[in-house]
Amino acid sequence: MASERTLSIIKPDATRRNLTGRINALFEEKGLRIIAQKRLQLTQAQAEAFYAVHRERPFFAGLVSFMISGPVVAQVLEGEGAVGRNREIMGATDPKKADQGTIRAQFAENIEANSVHGSDSAENAASEIAFFFSGLEVVG
Ligand code: ATP
Ligand code: MG
């Protein structure tokens, strides 16, 4: 499988509990390389734009207020099949359904405050990476 890039976000529930380093260690142990990273406070407009695909969902307003409730760490992960690999490392959206050893099984508080985001396709990864990073900031 070819080397790929995916967009990851360490969400506010995890930055609040000082889990950035432990989550990053899991990515690195499991073969993904962090090739760009920055910590930022999203505005409401930015969070709404990032999650625009979910704007009709009943959880949209809650999700946006959660995502702006504290800092996030946006990052680009690179590795073999990085999009799918990262989804495996993250585990299911609902931590109650996440496999043992996944980030969400270990760290997520609930289905909303679930510690990490990961792109769900190579196509979405490209647009999500461009949302957060300029080409100069991604150093593979
Ligand atoms: P992400 O896109 O953050 O990587 P995901 O792809 O596993 O997560 P999505 O279906 O894309 O899940 O939902 C986006 C985010 O919206 C979830 O990660 C979670 O924070 C929130 N969310 C999803 N479903 C619910 C729900 N039923 N109730 C509350 N929040 C939800
Ligand atoms: Mg998703």
**One of 5, 117, 118, 119 is an active-site residue; which one?**
117
132 Cα to the center of ligand 2, angstroms: 16
Helix, strand, or coil (residue 13): helix
Pocket-testing residue among 6, 9, 59, ligand 1, by greatest number of atoms within 8 A of Cβ: 59
pLDDT digits over 12-30, tens only? Answer: 999 999 999 999 999 999 9
CB 11 within 8 A of CB 116: yes
Q: Which two tokens stand for residue 38?
A: 């920055």
Question: Per the confidence metrics, is the pTM higher than 0.85?
Answer: yes
50 Cα to the center of ligand 1, angstroms: 12
pLDDT band at 84; cut points 50, 70, 90: very high
Q: Is 117 a catalytic residue?
A: yes
pLDDT band at 1; cut points 50, 70, 90: confident
Pocket-testing residue among 114, 116, 129, ligand 1, by greatest number of atoms within 8 A of Cβ: 114
Amino acid at 56: E
Q: 44 burial class (0-12, 13-18, 19+ CB within 10 angstroms)?
A: exposed
pLDDT digits over 35-78, tens only? Answer: 999 999 999 999 999 999 999 999 999 999 999 999 999 999 99
Taking 80 as the threshold, does the pLDDT of residue 90 lie above it?
Answer: yes
